[in-house]
Structure 1
Amino acid sequence: MQVESGSKQERNSKFDHYSKQAAKPVGQFQPSNRTKHKPYKTTWKKGQKLDKNQRREVQYERKHYKHYDKKYPNFSGTFARGDCTNWASQDRLHAAGGMTSRDKHARKHFGSGNRISTKHSKWYCRHAKSTLFGLRKHWNYSTSWTTVKGFYKYWAGTKHRPHFVTSSFRRVMAHVRVGDVIQLHSKKDGWHHTVTVSKVAKHMVYYTSHNKNRLFAPLTKIKSLTGLAKTNKIRVIEMGI
């Protein structure tokens, strides 16, 4: 009886072993199958330094990525549209971007009192006269300064800056330089977020952004404006700094 019990126990043990093996889904990722990540290629070159405009831009980013510049409006509040493109425009301006003249026919926004231009040929943001004894600020600006779509239409359309759309992070990494602008797309929100390249290392690209204030954040960790929408396309505008 002891021999039979031992044989039965041995058979059950073998059965349990093969059952566990069969229970593993075919092709399921296992830690033992982990392959090492292939390093990203970037535009980094040994000994290469930032040019004058790039240095000026990065200096501005260091100073104001967290402490917003009061010379410009702040759109990061609860009821605002978001400050990401406004921040990218400030970056570009301080890298010798150059504002256009304001639109004399820009309409006055009823709620804010700001004068906003939708012309694709305009790119500017200026402080207007204050009201209520200087307590309330008004601004004159174009949507190309503050919105994702407007910024793209001005720089890629009016100014003819080189640009491309891709779903590959590797392609982005291999092409961008400090000062280039990246925009994100999701099926839920469309083109909805703008960031600026702030650093290029040997195997990584870093960006700066507002709303969620970032200075040297890895591009591989980038999230959308809401943190919920999944990025499925990336648009790069080469600013030629």
Structure 2
Amino acid sequence: MKVDILSLFPEMFSGVFQQSILKKASDKGLVDFEVTDFRKYTTNKHHKVDDYPYGGGAGMVLMPQPIFDAMDHITQDLTEKPRVILMTPQGKTFKQKHAEELAKEDHLIFICGHYEGYDERIREALVTDEFSIGDFVLTGGELASMVMIDSIVRLLPGVLGNDDSAVTDSFSTGLLEHPQYTRPSDFRGMKVPETLLSGNHALIDRWRRRESLYRTFHRRPDLLEGRTFTEEELAWLEKFRKEEEK
């Protein structure tokens, strides 16, 4: 996968892309990161990339010219238009299903803005997808794009040491992940559930499914809406509700 990022602060990405899973993915040749400082493409003699909005108002707005010219340079030799992602509070909330969808792409371009917003022509002519990572305010789109990129790249085949890890993560199954334990089995009097020590994989799988459902029921019940359940899962849910009513 090729990942291009347009940013006014490319140095923000150097630490993130040189650590942990993203670095390993890059070292393996599974992803190629390139960060472009679109200020370098401005034709303004003062190197400005923003201006006052027509009609007045607070703040400054990113001008179209630097971003359009940067995009022209990035895409000049491409035969197919890549997915171009705009980080914006107006975008749809980024979820695991979006990460799974975008992980199937060969080329992604992220546009990270600052200031009060973008010239609307950027959105209309260049962008294919608009995303937000939540209902809160960030200084710019860089941090949000890092979150999305990490979520997407870890799903690429071969990136994680164990590909099953991505499948069983929270949200990948639509539920929160079950509790995890490691050695020692008894730490300061706190013991690992006997089921996990039994060696009975069918029993362990059932325990994990139940605990995953239990945790989701209590912490993120919204994730259960519209989900199809087995008869056993419905019985568990009914038991959870009765316990909660006590």
> Do these two structures clear the TM 0.5 threshold for a shared fold by scoring above it?
no
- Structure with max Cα Rg: 1
Per chain length, whose mean CA-contact separation is higher, i.e. which structure has more relative contact order (CA < 8 Å, sep 6+)? 1
TM range (shorter): under 0.3
Q: What's the TM-score once normalised by structure 1's chain length?
A: 0.25
Greater percentage in helix: 2
Q: What's the TM-score once normalised by structure 2's chain length?
A: 0.25
